[in-house]
Amino acid sequence: MAYTRTEHYDQAVTTALTEHYRETLSLLGENPDREGLLNTPMRVAKSMQVLTQGYQMDAHAILNSAKFHEKVNEMVIVKDIEMYSLCEHHMLPFYGKAHIAYIPNEWITGLSKIARVVDVFSRRLQVQERLTTQILEAIKDTLQPLGVAVVIEASHLCMMMRGVQKQNSVTTTSAFYGEFEKNETRSEFIRLIGSKLH
């Protein structure tokens, strides 16, 4: 999915971060005054505000903004939601896809809102395990469904660029609530999203 570009930045935060990134470049042995780096600290300062904009977003408000009463109780799946986040241990990106399902209990939400919930929690400093459960809890608490399932499959640059440097590894995390704790329902979800999760 596409991300909405943030047009407004907190000027005080931008200024403070810019100075810190200038200092960081110097500490790394670079010259922040050379032509190619003159505007880099400000660009990074603005970029980081976009990459962490989830701190200013409310998942419950997003889901409630398109909450409708419907007497349906069949599984609703939104799969292959693009997900980008920053590992809180090294502040390097991890990225992949989220697959989310819920079984309504007389309340549904707009499908795009499910994808937006992924943004809320992924656009923060994160670990994949917590990201998975935060998405589940937000949907569970707001919609009070009969069940929720979340699976995230992601590649972590902290493993690919540094450390063990395993370029082809994929990390899969999952969280299940309610009806999805039953083997039959969970297996149907996993089959429908085409995951290798067992």
Question: Which positions are catalytic?
Answer: 87-90, 128, 156, 158
Neighbours of 186 (CB within 10 A): 18
Distance of CA 116 to the CA centre of its chain: 9
Are 53 and 43 in contact by the 8 Å Cβ rule? The answer is no
Using CB atoms within 10 A of its CB, is residue 8 exposed (0-12), middle (13-18) or buried (19+)?
exposed
